[in-house]
């Protein structure tokens, strides 16, 4: 089915204290989107939004539009740049798009399509829209999401998604880093050192490695909190500092196919060779700020599915890809398990599909079919 691709832009005023994006008009937040509009009218629109990703030309939105779904690929105020991203602000941006779909585009029903990192965003958003509880960011600064009056949605789809940016980064952190400034590593815990245990990893090694990952995350968090407090005392309330997080692609599952097993290719991850990505500029969470670390990457983040999933009371579809080299099966299952109070929840698998459905037309068609079938059965 043919469809129109209509570029959209919304802008709204917001008081500025600390600027966390480059350029633009002072005090104005501008967000872009593409409206994929099939010829056949519909009262329902599916909204894709990732905290920082631009999803206009990813395979699944277009496949859904070709199948007759009306789609919006929305972008937050942080397009392709999460260095200073604040998850609470992303929820505000998503709320503006949901309202735009209803008030301007005329759709009666809105379904969130939480692909990859958009999954935890979708759950965080709906939890706060239905029962707002966030009053401060994890940095301790006032941010009452109740004041944003986020409009609720009618359904949520979690598509090749992980449980949160915070939990994912923690599970991928290089547990061997013992000095954040250098970084210096303990070779006994460096997955890429011959002095470290090699696959297949023992349960004891995996348990100790995971504990070291959590401990490292918490050390960075404690340092960020202390540094921010010191800077505010010395330089005022808007003081900030940027820093680098070394070693963020060292998950044992990338090297040992028996860990969180699925059909992915061993020794690879969704960004390529994890040995190279571990310290490369394009690695997850490489550049960040004190406030952003606390909001999106620390285990104190508000936007974790495991913290908010029980508050979801709209229908939920969870779709996992069995060869996903980013969002592994334990994340798919934890997402399904955490939405225990949804009026209906369903878990489906796309066999052989990788994270992006790259060069996989059959799996892409299957995923689109699962989505359209679920929407139909839910009356959406």
Does residue 98 sit in the same domain as residue 154? yes
pLDDT at site 25: 85
Please identify, among 255, 280, 297, the residue that sits at the C-terminal boundary of a domain: 297
Give the 3-state secondary structure of residue 226.
Answer: helix
pLDDT at site 332: 98
% helix, strand, coil for the chain, step of 5: 35, 20, 45
Q: Quote the CA–CA distance of 34 and 40 in Å, as a whole number.
A: 18
Asked, as a colleague might, if the bond just before 200 is cis with ω within 30 of 0, I would say yes
Q: Which token pair is 314?
A: 């709209």
Instruction: Give the pTM.
Output: 0.97
Task: Please give the chain's pLDDT, 380 residues, in tens.
Answer: 899 999 999 999 998 778 888 878 888 999 999 999 999 999 999 999 999 999 999 999 999 999 999 999 999 999 999 999 999 999 999 999 999 999 999 999 999 999 999 999 999 999 999 999 999 999 999 999 999 999 999 999 999 999 999 999 999 999 999 999 988 999 999 999 999 999 999 999 999 999 999 999 999 999 999 999 999 999 999 999 999 999 999 999 999 999 999 999 999 999 999 999 999 999 999 999 999 999 999 999 999 999 999 999 999 999 999 999 999 999 999 999 999 999 999 999 999 999 999 999 999 999 999 999 999 999 99
Q: Which residue has the tokens 């960040």?
A: 288
Q: Which token pair is 188?
A: 């006994």
Instruction: Using the CB atoms, write b or e for 258-278: b if 16+ within 10 Å.
Output: ebbebebeeeebbbeebbebb
pLDDT at site 345: 98
Please identify, among 266, 297, 328, the residue that sits at the C-terminal boundary of a domain: 297
Does residue 65 sit in the same domain as residue 155? yes
Does residue 10 sit in the same domain as residue 140? yes
Does residue 133 sit in the same domain as residue 183? no
Does residue 103 sit in the same domain as residue 217? no
Q: Quote the CA–CA distance of 152 and 158 in Å, as a whole number.
A: 16
Does residue 205 sit in the same domain as residue 283? yes
pLDDT at site 367: 98
Does residue 93 sit in the same domain as residue 68? yes
Q: Are 81 and 52 in contact (CB under 8 A)?
A: yes
Q: Are 37 and 344 in contact (CB under 8 A)?
A: no
Q: Which token pair is 249?
A: 């692609």
Does residue 69 sit in the same domain as residue 134? yes
pLDDT in tens, 204-253: 999 999 999 999 999 999 999 999 999 999 999 999 999 999 999 999 99
Total structural domains within the chain: 2
pLDDT at site 24: 82
Does residue 151 sit in the same domain as residue 242? no
pLDDT at site 16: 78
Does residue 255 sit in the same domain as residue 319? no
Q: Quote the CA–CA distance of 90 and 309 in Å, as a whole number.
A: 18
Report how far apart, in Å, the C-alpha atoms of 286 and of each of 50, 245, 249, 277, 281 are: 18, 5, 10, 10, 6
Does residue 309 sit in the same domain as residue 293? no
User: Looking at residue 369, which CATH number applies to its domain?
Assistant: 3.40.50.1820
Q: Are 271 and 278 in contact (CB under 8 A)?
A: no
Does residue 291 sit in the same domain as residue 365? no
Distance, C-alpha 117 to centroid of its chain: 2
pLDDT at site 15: 84
Q: Quote the CA–CA distance of 362 and 351 in Å, as a whole number.
A: 10
Please identify, among 297, 314, 335, the residue that sits at the C-terminal boundary of a domain: 297
Q: Which residue range(s) make up the domain with 238? A: 168-297
pLDDT in tens, 19-74: 888 878 888 999 999 999 999 999 999 999 999 999 999 999 999 999 999 999 99
């Amino acid at each position: 089915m043919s469809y129109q691709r209509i570029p959209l832009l919304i802008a709204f005023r917001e008081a500025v204290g600390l600027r966390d994006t480059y350029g633009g008009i002072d005090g104005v937040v501008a967000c872009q989107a593409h409206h994929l509009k099939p010829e056949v009218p519909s009262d329902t629109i599916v909204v894709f939004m990732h905290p920082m990703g631009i999803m206009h030309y990813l395979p699944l939105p277009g496949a859904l539009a070709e199948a007759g779904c009306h789609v919006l690929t929305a972008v937050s105020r942080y397009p392709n740049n999460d260095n200073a991203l604040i998850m609470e602000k992303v929820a505000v941006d998503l709320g503006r798009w949901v309202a735009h779909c209803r008030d301007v585009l005329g759709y009666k029903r809105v379904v969130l399509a939480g692909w990859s990192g958009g999954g935890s965003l979708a759950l965080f958003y709906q939890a706060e829209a239905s029962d707002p509880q966030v009053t401060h960011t994890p940095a301790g600064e006032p941010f009452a999401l109740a004041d944003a009056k986020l409009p609720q949605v009618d359904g949520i789809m979690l598509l090749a998604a992980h449980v949160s940016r915070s939990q994912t980064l923690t599970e991928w952190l290089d547990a061997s880093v013992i000095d954040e400034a250098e970084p210096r590593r303990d070779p006994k815990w460096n997955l890429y050192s011959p002095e470290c245990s090699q696959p297949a990893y023992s349960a004891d090694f995996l348990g100790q490695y995971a504990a070291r990952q959590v401990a490292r995350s918490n050390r960075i968090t404690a340092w960020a909190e202390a540094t921010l407090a010191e800077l505010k005392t010395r330089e005022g309330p808007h003081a900030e500092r940027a820093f680098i997080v070394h070693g963020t692609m060292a998950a044992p599952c990338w090297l040992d196919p028996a860990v969180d097993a699925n059909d992915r290719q061993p020794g690879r991850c969704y960004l390529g060779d994890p040995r190279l990505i571990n310290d490369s500029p394009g690695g997850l969470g490489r550049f960040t700020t004190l406030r952003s670390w606390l909001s999106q990457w620390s285990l104190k983040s508000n936007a974790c599915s495991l913290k908010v999933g029980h508050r979801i009371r709209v229908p939920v579809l969870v779709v996992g890809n069995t060869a996903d080299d980013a969002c592994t099966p334990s994340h798919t299952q934890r997402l399904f398990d955490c939405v225990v109070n949804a009026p209906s929840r369903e878990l489906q698998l796309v066999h052989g599909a990788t994270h992006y459905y790259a060069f996989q037309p059959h799996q892409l068609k299957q995923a689109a079919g699962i989505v359209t079938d679920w929407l139909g059965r839910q009356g959406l």
